[in-house]
Structure formats: structure tokens, C-alpha cells
């Protein structure tokens, strides 16, 4: 067994940076945008379970091979498989080979990337996130400052967390958001 | 619909929401019982770990933003009035070709400046969804926070398509005046002293910083053109087709309808390094037509062939004059 902190470290350092290309791959292969977040979540869960036994090395080919397997088995279960999905599947290996260059460019300026991500949050959400993150205020203090109740503040902050994760790792348009 | 690769189905949205909940609760009061409950939730499923670790990592990264800010930021009285640079470029390549100069200020200064060179144009999309189009030789500064959106037009001409947000007024400052958007598309042009505002759609209000007009805020309606200086203000109503002509620069065109050669030359000279010089003897001759703003030569040719004038090229100039008999 691999210890949980070690798995977490591997997941954050090796897997999350691949999310943007993984999402692009999923978007191109699976024509059901409403379920992409679920799909991603399934892939991550299985990756983590595998890593608990042994950390895959190298990570990237493993991630994409597993993504492909999950995708194929999911589509087999679904009765209707669109033609374009099938033809795309044949190109999966190809797609996983080429890492998108823009991620690297963005990663070069982490500060600006972070700032832009925060800037893209909806106004109230951004305000709550800033007060929490930059001012270090508690939920109660933010509530007092913004004249909102605590549960509303909590809603904004949590929404901010999820949107930020999507922007920082996945894609700039937050998807899989039930709200 | 929601098959899960052999695992019990768990919607990512719900799991993520719960993960965010834990993460946020950990920042506040956190008791032993909470830790126990959290531990068992985390151990329950790899889905839980995936969602939680992912959010935690992203949230942790935002801590760096705080760390990089100067210490005086924390001492500030309120976060509400802080400005945030908000910018997103549309067509970076096009802007590069147009000679756009964009300056990003990193924290703590949070304004963004954009400028175009002579002959350049640029389209900028602000994060609030508003669009700004810069004409030739134009400089603006954008500053935004959660309460205000302010653009300072230092020189030149810009067209604004504003996303209305009553809680966050959008103002343009130029030549001692303030134009406050009430949901609009409008164009503003200034040379620093004189200001011209053309309203295409919606409503906007013009206020002056000088005393005597302070109490005479002017509400503009579509089709109105305001010309204001430090101590004068005139509003005129312009036919729609003429408005379109005035805004033709947005398509890279100059449209003249029965204007003097001098007026036309002035327009061209805003866009080009090669300046048109009109002989005073023919300065009042009238011309009409649509021209590429960047093509002085096309204007010179029209003057030559259609008006029978003489055009003479010199370094940096084209002189239009009466033909020598």
C-alpha cells in the first residue's frame, strides 16, 4: 500500500497538470458535455485506487490509457454510439501523444494565471474569495463585511473553489456545475 | 445515463460540493468530531479523495496570490474598493499587427493600459463582458473593482459596448468629463481638451468636472452627439446614416459625405504617418466617398482623377493642390 499523503502528492503534482489535455481529449471523444465532469471524476477515482497499490510511472501514458478504457467501456454500455465518437476513438492514442502547448505557456506565469482566474469569477463570488484568501477573513467576518448571511458567504466561497479548480486545472469555462 | 465504470454512481457535482464544504469548514472552527467525520468521508471513496484533493490543490494555489501581495495590502481598510485588473484580449495577433502596446501592471498597481499607434486599431474584451474598440493613436487605462468600472481615455477615440451592471457603474473619463453608462454602445473621442461623444444605442449620462456645468448632467439618447470642452457643451441630433459614417472607423473605413478637403485630410492624418497637406486655395472644395483609413494614396488618387487636382509626393507628405496650368 502506498500512503495517502504520497498518493495525494502524486495526484496533485503529476495528474492535475494533465487535466487540461485530459479534458480536451474527453471533449473531443465524448459528445455529452453534461457528463464530462463525471467522467473526469471516474477517471481520477480509478487512478487514485491504482496509485494506492503502486504509483504509476510514467504517469501520463497511464492516465490516457486509463481514460481511454473508461471511455470505451462507458460507450459500450450506452446503446447509441454516435459515429463520430467511434472514429475519434481510433485517434485517441494520437490525441494523447501531443500535449497542448498553451498549458505550458500559461504555467510560466503562475501569478498572472491565478490573478486572471480570480478575476473571472462572478463579482460576489470573487469578493468572497478575495476576502477569504487575501484578507484571511473567516466566514462570519466576510458575512459581516458584505452584509450577507453566513450560508450565502459559504455558497459563494464554495462556488469560487470549484470554479477556480476548473479554471486552474481544466478549462476556462466551468462545466459540470449543477448550479 | 450515469454509468460509472463498475463503481457505484456518484455525481461529480455532488461530491465536489461536499468536498468544497469540508475545505471551507476546515478554515473555520474545526472540532475533533469534524475531523473524525471528515476522515471517514475521505476514506469512503476514491471519488471523495479525488474531488477533495483537487479542490484543495487549487485553493492552496490561491494562497500564493496573497503571499505575493505587499504587506500594506492586508492593512487596507476595506477590500471593496480595491481595483482588479481585468483584461482579456480578443485577436492578439491582429493587435500585434496593428502595433498595439499593452502594458500589464502586476500587483499592487492594478490598472491595465492599452494603446494603439498611428494607424493601429485594437479590440479589447473586458472581463465584465464589455467590449472596447480602440481607434488610431489612442490610449486608455482600465481599472475595475467590485464597485466601479472606470476607463480613462487619455487620447484618441474608443467605441464602448458596455454590459450594464447597475451595481457597478461603467464610467469613461475624458477631457474633464465623465460619461456614465446606463446600458449602451457609444463612442468617445478626445484630444485632451475637446470631447465628442456619440451615442449609438441605450442611454448614457455626461457629467462635467468643471463647476458651472456640474449640475447640468446631460442624459444622452441614441443618435445624439455631444461636443464638450472645459466650459462649453453642445448636443446635436444626427441622422442614423451619418452616425454609421462617423463610426465607420470600426471597420477600418473613413466615410465622407460632402466634407471639405481640409476636414477629410484631418481625418486621414489621424491614421497615417504620411500626412496630407491641402493647398489653402482648394481647402473648401467638397468631397464624398468611402475610403480605407490606412490608404492615403487612394484619397490622393481620387483627388487627382475625380477632382482634377494635382497630387505631389514628398517625404512624409502628399500635397494636394490646384494643377499648374
Judged by a CB distance cut-off of 8 A, whether residue B106 touches chain A is yes
Q: What average pLDDT does this structure show over B239-266?
A: 81
Residue B235 lies in a domain: yes
With CA atoms as reference, the chain A residue closest to B21 would be: A158
Q: Please report the pLDDT score of residue A51 as a whole number.
A: 93
CB neighbour list of residue B246: distance below 8 Å, 6 or more residues apart: B187, B198, B225, B238, B255
- Which ipTM score applies to this complex? 0.82
Phi/psi of residue B104, nearest 5 degrees: -100, 130
* In the predicted structure, residue A57 carries a pLDDT above the cut 60: yes
Report the pLDDT value the prediction gives residue B216, as an integer from 0 to 100: 59
- Please report the pLDDT score of residue A103 as a whole number: 40
- pLDDT of A40 reads 93
Query: Higher-confidence residue: B74 or B122?
Result: B122
Q: Does B235 share its domain with B301?
A: no
Q: Is the pLDDT at B120 greater than 70, yes or no? A: yes
Residues B276-320: tens digit of each pLDDT: 999 998 888 888 777 788 888 878 877 777 778 888 888 889 999
Domain CATH code at residue B317: 3.55.50.30
Looking at the DSSP bridge assignments, the partners of residue B161 are B131, B185
Based on the fold, state whether residues B198 and B125 are members of the same structural domain.
yes
| Alpha carbon distance A38, B172 (integer Å) | 44
Note whether B17 contacts A178, CB cutoff 8 Å.
Answer: yes
Number of domains in chain B: 3
What's the pLDDT score for residue A101? 41
Is some CB atom of chain A closer than 8 A to the CB atom of B7?
A: yes
Q: Are residues A74 and B64, on separate chains, in Cβ contact within 8 Å?
A: no
A35 contacts B167? CB cut-off 8 A? no
Query: Which range is least confidently modeled, A16-20, A61-65, B91-95?
Result: B91-95
Q: Is the confidence at residue B228, as pLDDT, over 70? A: yes
Q: For an interface test with B, which of A4, A41, A50 has the most B Cβ atoms less than 10 Å from its Cβ?
A: A41
* Residue-level pLDDT at B197: 87
Q: Which of B129, B131, B150, B139 is closest to B83 using CA atoms?
A: B150
- For cell 449609438, what's the residue? B200
Closest C-alpha among B160, B85, B167 to residue B127: B85
Asked whether the predicted pLDDT for residue B103 surpasses 50, the reply is no
Q: How far apart are CA B140 and CA B76, in angstroms?
A: 27
Same domain assignment for residues B32 and B97: no
Of B242, B268, B296, which residue is a domain's last? B242
CA B207 to chain centroid, in Å, comes to 20
> In the structure, what pLDDT confidence band is assigned to residue A173 with cuts at 50, 70 and 90?
very low
Residue-range definition of the domain harbouring residue B303: 252-321
Label residue B242 by pLDDT band (50, 70, 90).
confident
Least confident range from A162-171, B87-96, B189-198: namely B87-96
Tell me the three cell numbers of residue A114: 491565478
Residue B127 DSSP class: T
Gap between the Cα atoms of A102 and A112, Å rounded: 14
pLDDT grade for A156, boundaries at 50, 70 and 90: very high
**pLDDT tens-digit profile of A85-140?**
444 444 444 444 444 444 434 344 566 777 778 888 898 898 898 888 877 788 98
Tell me B128's DSSP state. Answer: T
Please provide residue B20's backbone torsions phi and psi, each rounded to the nearest 5 degrees. -65, -40
Residue with cell 482634377: B308
**CB B103, CB B113: distance < 8 Å:** yes
Mean pLDDT of B138-152: 86
Chain A closest CA to B277's CA: distance in Å? 47
Nearest to B64, CA basis, from A115, A149, A89: A115
CATH number for the domain spanning B107: value is 2.60.120.1440
Burial of B239 (0-12, 13-18, 19+ CB in 10 A): exposed
Residue B313 confidence (pLDDT): 87
Q: What share of chain B in percent tops pLDDT 90?
A: 13
Average pLDDT rounded to a whole number, residues B199-227: 72
B222 lies in some domain: yes
Residues B169 and B28 in one domain: no
What is the residue-averaged pLDDT of chain B? Answer: 75
Domain boundary among B242, B276, B301: B242
pLDDT tens digits along B16-75: 999 999 999 988 777 778 888 898 999 899 999 999 999 999 988 876 665 544 332 222
Q: What angle do CA B291, B295, B299 make, to 5 degrees?
A: 60
Quick check: B46 and A112 CB within 8 A? no
Interface test with B, best of A11, A32, A115, A137 (most B CBs within 10 A): A115
Alpha-carbon span B239 to B257, nearest angstrom:
12
What is the C-alpha separation between B54 and B65, in angstroms, rounded? Answer: 18
Give the Cα separation of B47 and B36 in Å (integer): 18
Cα(B173)–Cα(B204) distance, integer angstroms: 13
A179 or B41, which is more confident: B41
Q: Which residues pair with B259 in a beta bridge?
A: B287
Give yes or no for residue B113 having a pLDDT over 70.
Answer: yes
CA–CA separation, B22 and B34 (whole Å): 9
Let me know if residue B291 belongs to a domain.
yes
Indicate whether B146 belongs to any domain: yes
Instruction: Yes or no: say if A123 and B126 are a contact pair by the CB < 8 Å rule.
Output: no
Closest CA to A166 of A41, A32, A13: A41
Q: Which of A166, A170, A49 is nearest to A179 (CA)?
A: A166
Is the pLDDT confidence value at B9 over 80? no
pLDDT at B137 over 70: yes
Mean pLDDT of all residues in B82-109: 35
**Confidence band, pLDDT 50/70/90 cuts, at residue A172:** very low
Mean pLDDT check: name the lowest of A26-35, A130-139, A161-170, B80-89. Answer: B80-89
Q: What share of chain B is helix, strand, coil (3-state, %, to 5)?
A: 30, 35, 35
Output the pLDDT for position A22: 92
Q: Which residues of A touch B12 (CB under 8 A)?
A: 37-38, 40-41, 176
pLDDT at B213 over 80: no
Highest mean pLDDT among A154-168, B89-103, B114-128, B203-217: A154-168
What is the predicted pLDDT for the residue at A155? Answer: 94
Do B139 and B270 reside in the same domain of the chain? no
How many Cβ contacts (< 8 angstroms) between chains A and B?
165
- B57 domain-assigned: yes
pLDDT of residue B21: 94
Q: Do A158 and B20 touch (CB under 8 A)?
A: yes
- Do B201 and B102 share a structural domain? yes
Quickly list DSSP for chain A.
---HHHHHHHIIIIIGGGHHHHHHHHHHH-S-GGGHHHHHHHHHHHHHHHHHH---SSHHHHHHHHHHHHHHHHHHHSS---HHHHHHHHTHHHHHHS--HHHHHHHHTHHHHHHHHHHTS-HHHHHHHHHHHTS---HHHHHHHHT--HHHHHHHHHHHHHHHHIIIII-SS--S---
Residues 41-80, chain B, touching A (beta carbon < 8 A) = 45-47, 49-51, 53-55, 57-59, 61-66, 68-69, 73-74, 78-80
Domain match, B235 and B262 both = no
Average pLDDT value for residue range A29-35:
79
Is B147 in the A-facing interface, judged by CB distances under 8 Å?
no
Instruction: Return residues 109-138 of B near A (CB < 8 Å).
Output: 127
User: Given pLDDT bands bounded at 50, 70 and 90, which one contains residue B6?
Assistant: very low
> Do both B191 and B140 map to the same domain?
yes
Q: Does residue B53 sit in the same domain as residue B92?
A: no
Residue B170 maps to a domain: yes
CATH topology of domain A109-170: Arc Repressor Mutant, subunit A (1.10.10)
Alpha-carbon torsion (B50, B52, B56, B59), positive or negative: positive
* Domain assignment of residue B42, yes or no: yes
Q: How is residue B192 annotated by DSSP? A: S
Whether A161 sits inside 8 A of B59 (CB atoms) is: yes
Q: Which pLDDT belongs to residue B209?
A: 66
Amino acid at each position: 500500500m502506498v500512503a495517502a499523503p504520497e498518493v495525494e502528492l502524486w495526484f496533485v503534482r503529476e495528474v492535475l497538470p494533465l487535466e487540461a489535455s485530459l479534458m480536451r481529449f474527453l471533449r473531443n471523444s465524448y459528445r455529452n458535455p453534461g457528463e464530462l465532469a463525471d467522467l473526469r471524476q471516474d477517471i481520477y477515482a480509478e487512478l487514485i485506487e491504482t496509485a494506492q497499490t503502486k504509483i504509476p510511472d510514467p504517469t501520463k501514458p497511464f492516465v490516457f490509457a486509463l481514460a481511454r478504457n473508461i471511455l470505451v467501456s462507458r460507450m459500450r454500455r450506452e446503446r447509441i454510439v454516435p459515429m463520430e465518437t467511434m472514429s475519434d476513438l481510433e485517434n485517441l492514442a494520437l490525441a494523447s501523444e501531443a500535449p497542448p502547448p498553451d498549458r505550458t505557456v500559461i504555467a510560466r506565469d503562475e501569478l498572472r494565471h491565478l490573478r486572471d482566474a480570480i478575476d473571472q469569477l462572478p463579482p460576489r463570488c470573487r469578493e468572497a474569495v478575495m476576502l477569504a484568501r487575501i484578507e484571511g477573513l473567516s466566514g462570519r467576518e466576510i458575512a459581516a463585511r458584505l452584509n450577507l448571511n453566513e450560508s450565502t458567504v459559504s455558497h459563494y466561497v464554495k462556488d469560487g473553489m470549484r470554479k477556480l479548480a476548473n479554471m486552474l486545472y481544466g478549462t476556462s469555462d466551468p462545466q459540470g456545475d449543477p448550479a | 445515463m450515469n454509468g460509472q465504470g463498475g463503481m457505484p454512481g456518484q455525481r461529480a457535482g455532488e461530491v465536489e460540493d461536499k468536498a468544497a464544504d469540508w475545505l471551507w469548514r476546515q478554515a473555520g472552527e474545526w472540532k475533533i468530531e469534524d475531523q473524525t467525520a471528515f476522515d471517514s468521508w475521505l476514506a469512503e471513496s476514491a471519488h471523495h479523495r479525488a474531488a477533495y484533493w483537487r479542490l484543495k490543490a487549487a485553493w492552496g494555489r490561491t494562497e500564493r496570490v496573497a503571499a505575493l501581495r505587499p504587506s500594506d495590502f492586508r492593512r487596507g481598510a476595506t477590500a471593496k474598493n480595491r481595483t482588479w485588473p481585468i483584461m482579456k484580449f480578443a485577436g492578439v495577433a491582429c493587435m500585434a499587427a496593428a502595433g498595439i502596446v499593452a502594458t500589464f501592471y502586476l500587483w499592487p498597481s492594478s490598472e491595465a493600459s492599452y494603446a494603439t499607434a498611428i494607424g493601429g486599431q485594437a479590440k479589447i474584451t473586458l472581463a465584465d463582458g464589455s467590449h472596447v474598440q480602440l481607434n488610431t493613436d489612442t490610449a486608455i487605462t482600465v481599472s475595475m473593482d467590485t464597485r466601479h468600472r472606470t476607463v480613462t481615455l487619455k487620447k484618441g477615440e474608443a467605441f464602448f459596448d458596455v454590459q450594464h451592471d447597475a451595481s457597478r457603474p461603467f464610467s469613461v473619463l475624458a477631457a474633464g468629463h465623465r460619461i456614465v453608462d446606463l446600458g449602451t454602445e457609444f463612442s468617445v473621442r478626445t484630444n485632451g481638451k475637446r470631447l465628442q461623444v456619440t451615442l449609438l444605442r441605450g442611454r448614457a449620462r455626461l457629467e462635467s468636472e468643471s463647476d458651472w456645468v456640474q449640475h447640468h448632467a446631460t442624459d444622452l439618447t441614441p443618435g445624439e452627439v455631444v461636443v464638450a470642452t472645459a466650459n462649453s457643451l453642445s448636443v446635436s441630433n444626427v441622422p442614423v446614416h451619418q452616425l454609421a459614417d462617423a463610426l465607420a472607423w470600426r471597420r477600418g473605413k473613413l466615410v465622407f459625405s460632402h466634407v471639405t478637403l481640409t476636414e477629410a485630410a484631418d481625418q486621414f492624418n489621424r491614421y497615417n504617418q504620411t500626412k496630407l497637406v491641402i493647398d489653402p486655395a482648394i481647402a473648401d472644395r467638397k468631397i464624398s466617398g468611402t475610403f480605407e483609413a490606412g490608404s492615403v494614396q487612394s484619397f490622393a488618387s481620387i483627388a487627382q482623377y475625380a477632382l482634377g487636382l494635382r497630387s505631389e509626393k514628398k517625404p512624409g507628405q502628399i500635397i494636394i493642390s490646384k494643377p499648374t496650368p
